[in-house]
Structure formats: structure tokens, C-alpha cells
Amino acid sequence: MLVELGEDPARDGLAKTPHRVDRALRFLTSGYDQDIDVVINNALFTVDDSEMVIVKDIDFYSLCEHHLLPFFGRCHVAYLPRDKVIGLSKLPRIVEVFSRRLQVQERLTNQIAETIAEKLNPLGVAVVLEASHLCMRMRGVQKQNSTAITSAMRGMFRTDARTRMEFLDLLWRGGRGAGGGRATSACEHDDDAF
């Protein structure tokens, strides 16, 4: 690559660049080497309630599989326990496993949701990712303030509008989230809307 760019790979600043790039790419794609069951490490606990659990603002970094440029942002995860909960720190670890691979945001969102659904068998799972893509900012369309938002809703988050709106309301409360604002649910305006 360095030669193709017209550079001298033997010059001082570049002599060790191939080694550094190799190490960086191995770290940035380390999710391929991780076993999700080892990551979860049996941190599943029996519970008697089904109240919503949310972990939001999970920072993540990934590489776009089309250009090998970074995309990064925040992941928000919620689930409704059926009879088990997972250790809270395991949700960011699940995000990390799948984000440390060559990805597209849509697949990443669904992989996180599917894994939580499979391992917990909850009443519902919701995952929302907000990300900035350097392949859109540094090249191509070059739009500096664009943000991509993807969601994956499973179970009650897909079938029950009130559950979904409760999650979205809690997610955007406090000025965080897409556009820095708070989502307004139709439920707030008309109790019969859903």
C-alpha cells in the first residue's frame, strides 16, 4: 500500500508502519476470536419480575467492511426479562464482540439483538445504534454532521407500541441521543393512540 501511494516504506517514519498497522488491525478485529459464551461467562441470574432493563450510551468502535474506515458511536440496549437477567457489564461486552469485526451498522445492530434474544429468551429486546461513519465524513459525500441510526426490535418491543415508546422515551430523556433532543411519544398526547 505504501509503495502504491508513492511512499518510501524504508523512510524513518514508515519503517515500522506495516508492523503497527498489522497490530492495530488485529486489535480492531479481535471480535472474530471471541466466543460469546466465554464472554457471558454464565452471568445469567434467575429473577421473578419482567421490568425493563436498559443500558444506554455504550461507546463502540467498528470498521466499515466496504472501506475499512472507522464508524463509531453509542449503542443502547433494553430487554424485558422472562425469567433471567444478565450481568449488566455483559451487555457492553456483547456489543464489543460484534463491533470488533468488519461490519455494516445494520448487521451489527441485529447481531447484538439476536444474541441477547438467544441467550436470555426475554419477552423482548431492543437495540438502537447511533453512529458516525468516516466513509461518509472523510470521503464520498463528505457530510460532517451526518449520523446513522439503526434499530432492532424483538418480541414485545416490536409487537407492543407502549413498550417500545416507553423504551424510546427513557432512551432520549435528558438530552442524549439522536439530535440531542428528546423523542416525544404519541402516548404522551393521546392515551388512546395505541
Residue range of the domain that includes 76: 35-177
Residues 8 and 78 in one domain: no
The reply to whether 191 falls in a domain is no
Residues whose CB is less than 8 angstroms from the CB of residue 73 and which lie 6 or more positions away in sequence, other chains included: 59, 60, 129, 130, 131, 132, 147
Instruction: Catalogue the active-site residues.
Output: 64-67, 105, 133, 135
Nearest to 44 by CA among 115, 127, 101, 96: 115
Model pTM score? 0.87
The reply to whether 20 falls in a domain is yes
CATH of the domain at 81: 3.30.1130.10
The three-class DSSP label of residue 75 is strand
Residues 14 and 88 in one domain: no
Asked whether the predicted pLDDT for residue 186 surpasses 80, the reply is no
Helix (H) or strand (E) holding 80: strand 70-80
In the chain, alpha helices (H): 17-28, 36-40, 90-99, 105-120, 134-137, 156-159, 161-172, 186-189
| pLDDT score of 181 | 38
Residues 8 and 75 in one domain: no
Asked whether the predicted pLDDT for residue 131 surpasses 70, the reply is yes
The three-class DSSP label of residue 81 is coil
Q: What is the pLDDT of residues 142-158, one digit of tens each?
A: 888 999 999 999 999 99
Residues 2 and 69 in one domain: no
Residues 50 and 29 in one domain: no
Please report which confidence band the pLDDT of residue 172 belongs to, taking 50, 70 and 90 as the band edges.
confident
Q: What is the pLDDT of residues 65-74, one digit of tens each?
A: 999 999 999 9
Q: For cell 439522536, what's the residue?
A: 178
Residues 28 and 41 in one domain: no
